Amino acid sequence: MFKERGFRVSSQNFILESAECWVIINFQKSRWAGHDETTFYVNVAACTKRWMGFEGRPADKVPPFYGCDWQWRVEEFGPDKNIQKWTLQTEGSLQETLKYLRSLFGDFVFPATSTMTTEADLMKHTGGFEYPQLKTRSVILAATNQVSALKQTVATLLEKFGSGLGAQRTRDHLQMLRQKYPDVMRSIEL
């Protein structure tokens, strides 16, 4: 199923790479499973290569799913939003889980991940932690000279994270934006 949709496998991850983004589906094994069972969660994550480069990370190297700015549990894409873990103990539990996951991936997850392969499409998604997404959005908007949307994004970033624990990191991020995109940043700060 994954290969048919362009994903490649690496350990517990299925990776979809485009020119602009990484999309990762991760099977996370639980440490708390019994000795005669396997318990796991399924995560979906995405990030832009532009953001990785801005942060000084190699954009051509697959990031870990937990290092991506957009993160979901797989159930968030389907009709039942309750986060689940799956426990495999018997052949019956394996078949039941496999049937459910095939349906979930085929009907919901793969259609959603196909809309995460460009920066513009990925920015339409919500999910994960708002702070890194706002930072990523600001980089993309500054790089593509989308002044109005950048102004709104920076205002939201400052309003929500300009004080308290994230204040210094927010100031550092804005300083990096000023250094990398001085003209567009000047235009929003007038």
pLDDT digits (tens, 9 = 90+) for 114-137: 999 999 999 998 866 688 899 999
Residues 67 and 100 in one domain: yes
- Domain hosting 151: range is 129-189
Residues 32 and 93 in one domain: yes
Residue 33 CB contacts under 8 Å (≥ 6 apart), including other chains: 39, 87
Would you tell me the crossing angle of helices 147-161 and 182-189 to the nearest 10 degrees?
70
User: What is residue 135's predicted lDDT score, i.e. its pLDDT?
Assistant: 93
* The last residue of a domain, from among 100, 121, 142: 121
* The last residue of a domain, from among 87, 121, 155: 121
Residues 107 and 160 in one domain: no
Residues 20 and 105 in one domain: yes
User: What is residue 85's predicted lDDT score, i.e. its pLDDT?
Assistant: 83
Residues 135 and 160 in one domain: yes
Report whether pLDDT(190) > 80: no
pTM: 0.89
Residue-wise pLDDT for 83-104, tens only, equals 788 888 888 889 999 999 999 9
User: What is residue 87's predicted lDDT score, i.e. its pLDDT?
Assistant: 86
Residues 116 and 134 in one domain: no
Residues 158 and 73 in one domain: no
Distances (CA, A) of 53 to 33, 66, 86, 101, 138: 38, 17, 36, 34, 14
Q: Rounded to 10 degrees, what is the CA torsion of 187, 141, 145, 111?
A: -160
How many domains does the structure of the chain reveal? 2
Report whether pLDDT(4) > 70: yes
166's tokens: 């994230």
Residues 110 and 32 in one domain: yes
